[in-house]
Structure formats: structure tokens, C-alpha cells
């Protein structure tokens, strides 16, 4: 167990509470579809390269009727970055010690008309302290109503804190969630922010509102589309699109790299990969 200061403890507690409410909502959707699927939780511990306890986390996974596979992870880790990796992390170039706590979620859906989704919120400490995160919608078959709904909800969360946030973080998501070797975007975007340092309470409040916006928007979209009929061609398009998603997460995603470089739980790190995918 690693010791937490009040800010670190507050962030961890909120990430865990958001996890609990998201998982309960997703399980409720499964009940509405006539499924008894529920999350299975697996705790894991991390040992720092120094040999000292380095925190850990809990991996939650559910495979159901609506959610073909959804993973919700919460982790709280700390220790020392190895080698030159520290130089790539905000504020760690001169001091490789770090602390990180956060929630990460990826849902791959059974119905191709229900968009897959990614969301994460995190609090990192090096010689600096900052929040990062966001959420982005990844539909195999984009529907404008759903895209507009998701973006409008994220925009409202941003506007409540800074009128410049939405356009800035929307553009950041468009740049970040892009697959250069395919020359395509991973999905229809959302928001992405990082290195949000400064006043803890201000930035923590914004990060909480991003998490609440996700919990507001995504279940509504799922319920809107989960009973839509789909064809074999629709499913084939979904599986091919999932291959693109897997390519991004394995080649470009910074969260994947951070988890691997800091000795995180492999199953938790790779829970973002889809249960099925095709490459034609």
C-alpha cells in the first residue's frame, strides 16, 4: 500500500465512486435487455522496480447481451520511472518519482449501431500535479444524432468551467485519436485534455464534470440504439473497424504505453482490445 496525501486520496475516492456508478448503470442496461450479466472484479498489486510496494488497482470486466465486452479499471500506483521514460512525462525529467490514480473505460458493443466508447480521467503527480482525460465516441456505423448528443453533453461540461475548453479539447481529441498509418480518425471524437495543472480544486471539479457528462450521455445513447436490427454486413463492418481500434491502442495510445512502462497489470492494460476483430 502506498501512502496518499489528501489530494491524492480525494481523487482516488472519486474515481472509485464513478466506477461504481458506471458499472451499476451498465448492469441495469443488461437487465433491461433480459440479461443477468454482471461485472467481475479482479484486484491486482504492483511492485515498484525499487522492490517496494507500488500500489495497484481493480480490473472490472463484463460480457453481456448489450455489452459484448466492457472493461472499467481503477488504479492507484506510485514509485519511480525506469530509464529515459521519465523524460517523456510532464514534470518528471529531473525527478523520476511519480504517483498516478485514475479510471479507464472501454466498451465494445454487440450491436453495430451502438457506438463503442472510451473514457478516462486521471490525476498524476511528478514535480508537477495535473489532471487529464476525456471521452470519445467510436461508432462502426456513425449516426449524427448520437454524435451530436455526445458532443453537446461534453461541451456543456466544458462550458461550465471555461468557454474556450470545448473547442480546444475537441481539437486535441481529433489530433490524438487519429491513426496516421491508416489516415483515418479512430471515431467521431469527443474531448481530450492533459497536463491541466494549477489550482487543484478547480481542475478536479472540471474532471468530475467530464466523468458525470459521460455517465449522462453514453447510457442514453446505448438505450437509444441497442434494439436496432442489424445485418451481417453491419457486423462485418464493425469487426473490421475494431481492427483499426486495436491498431491505435497497441501502436499509439499513451495510456497503454504508460501502463506497460510502469509495470501495470497486463490484463488491465489490454482490456481495451476488442473480443473479436477482423483484418481483411
Looking at the DSSP assignment, which residues form a beta bridge with residue 216?
none
* Region class of 113: left (phi > 0), else alpha (psi between -120 and 50), else beta: alpha
DSSP strands (E only) in the chain: 40-47, 53-62, 67-80, 97-109, 116-125, 129-138, 178-179, 184-185, 189-197
Within 35-128, strands assigned E span 40-47, 53-62, 67-80, 97-109, 116-125
Residue 181 designated active-site: no
Catalytic residue among 90, 118, 151, 181: 118
Query: Are 97 and 76 spatial neighbours (Cβ–Cβ below 8 Å)?
Result: no
CA proximity to 190, closest of 151, 218, 148: 151
Residue 88: all three cell numbers together:
517523456
Instruction: Specify whether the CB–CB gap between 214 and 134 falls below 8 A.
Output: no
Which residues are the active-site residues? 118
Amino acid at each position: 500500500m502506498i501512502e496518499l496525501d489528501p489530494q491524492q486520496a480525494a481523487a482516488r475516492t472519486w474515481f472509485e465512486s464513478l466506477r461504481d456508478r458506471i458499472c451499476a448503470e451498465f448492469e441495469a442496461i443488461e437487465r433491461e435487455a433480459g440479461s443477468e450479466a454482471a461485472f467481475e472484479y479482479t484486484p491486482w498489486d504492483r511492485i515498484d522496480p525499487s522492490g517496494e510496494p507500488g500500489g495497484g488497482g481493480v480490473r472490472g470486466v463484463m460480457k453481456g447481451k448489450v455489452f459484448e465486452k466492457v472493461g472499467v479499471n481503477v488504479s492507484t500506483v506510485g514509485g519511480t520511472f525506469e530509464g529515459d521514460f521519465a523524460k517523456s512525462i510532464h514534470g518528471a525529467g529531473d525527478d523520476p518519482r511519480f504517483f498516478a490514480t485514475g479510471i479507464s473505460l472501454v466498451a465494445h458493443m454487440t450491436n453495430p449501431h451502438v457506438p463503442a466508447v472510451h473514457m478516462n480521467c486521471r490525476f498524476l503527480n511528478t514535480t508537477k500535479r495535473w489532471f487529464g482525460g476525456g471521452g470519445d465516441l467510436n461508432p462502426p456505423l456513425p449516426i449524427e444524432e448520437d454524435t451530436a448528443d455526445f458532443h453537446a453533453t461534453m461541451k456543456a461540461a466544458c462550458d461550465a468551467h471555461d468557454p474556450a475548453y470545448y473547442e480546444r479539447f475537441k481539437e486535441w481529441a481529433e489530433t490524438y485519436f487519429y491513426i496516421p498509418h491508416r489516415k483515418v480518425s479512430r471515431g467521431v471524437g469527443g474531448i481530450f485534455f492533459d497536463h491541466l495543472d494549477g489550482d487543484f480544486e478547480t481542475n478536479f471539479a472540471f474532471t468530475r464534470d467530464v466523468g458525470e457528462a459521460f455517465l449522462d450521455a453514453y447510457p442514453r445513447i446505448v438505450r437509444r440504439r441497442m434494439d436496432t436490427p442489424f445485418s451481417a454486413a453491419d457486423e462485418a463492418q464493425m469487426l473490421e473497424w475494431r481492427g483499426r481500434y486495436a491498431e491505435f491502442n497497441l501502436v499509439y495510445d499513451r495510456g497503454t504505453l504508460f501502463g506497460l512502462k510502469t509495470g501495470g497489470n497486463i490484463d488491465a492494460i489490454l482490456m481495451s482490445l476488442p473480443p473479436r476483430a477482423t483484418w481483411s
